[in-house]
Structure 1
């Protein structure tokens, strides 16, 4: 994603110390832009580097799954391959990771190579059966 795509204005409007769950929607390229396998293969390389960075900041990967189909609403423009829910102890922890040199130089190239489209939605818990934090 890199700093250039971060919605700094939107993130600055959030309570930066509050926990957040990031909903990741991903559509993969048929072939990785670096020529090393599929978009999925590049995403697996990205995940292998990113998950330890998330954990180092007190976050955790809550859930991942294949996006099957749009069940309600317009399907146009809503074709996704994969969804991941990632909990961070604070918005600041997310921003710290996303703006770190390690993320920018080591992780993000794999994400860009593998993802045709990647959207992250910051969410605030309203109800959950999960015990977080």
Structure 2
């Protein structure tokens, strides 16, 4: 797993100047691949490095939560440990961060060490009770 999994073609089809909320679904490894704690520990190191990068691009972390149970649908393949909603002012800002050397060299190794699976879904707002900048 790594930035080589970035769906460049799919992202290129989106309006590059439109705001986007990325829905992150994470499944942690029991132990970090680098041997430094649990998968969750490695993900926390990743998060500490990426949040400032997100903010530098005008984005913000909207919400995070611990996944508790599959409430509807098949459990197989749908059990996650953690979710995060991350706002970016443009799709281009997200791509800029994900393809930066700083992300690839400093951040992504922690994500890879910590996450057995990590899916990011690009979303366009249809309705929100919350005012996003």
Q: Which residue of 1 aligns with 2:114?
A: 114
Matched, 1:26 2:44: no
Aligned to 1:49: 49
- C-alpha distance in structure 2 between counterparts of 1:3 and 1:26, whole Å: 15
Distance (whole Å) between structure 1 residues aligned to residue 69 and residue 29 of structure 2 = 18
Pairwise CA distance, 1:9: 1.2
The structural deviation recorded for 1:3 is 3.4
The size of the alignment, in residue pairs, is: 133
Q: Which runs of 4+ in 1 moved over 4 A?
A: none
- The two structures have a TM-score, normalised by structure 1, of 0.98
Give the distance between the partners of 1:89 and 1:57, measured in 2 at CA.
8
* Contact 2:88–2:94 under 8 Å retained in 1: yes
For residue 2 of structure 1, report the CA deviation from its aligned partner. Answer: 4.1
| Aligned Cα root-mean-square deviation (Å) | 0.8
User: For the residues of structure 2 that align with 1:42 and 1:93, how far apart are their CA atoms?
Assistant: 24
Q: Decide whether the 8 Å contact of 1:28 with 1:81 is kept in 2.
A: yes
- List alignment gaps of at least 5 residues for structure 2: none
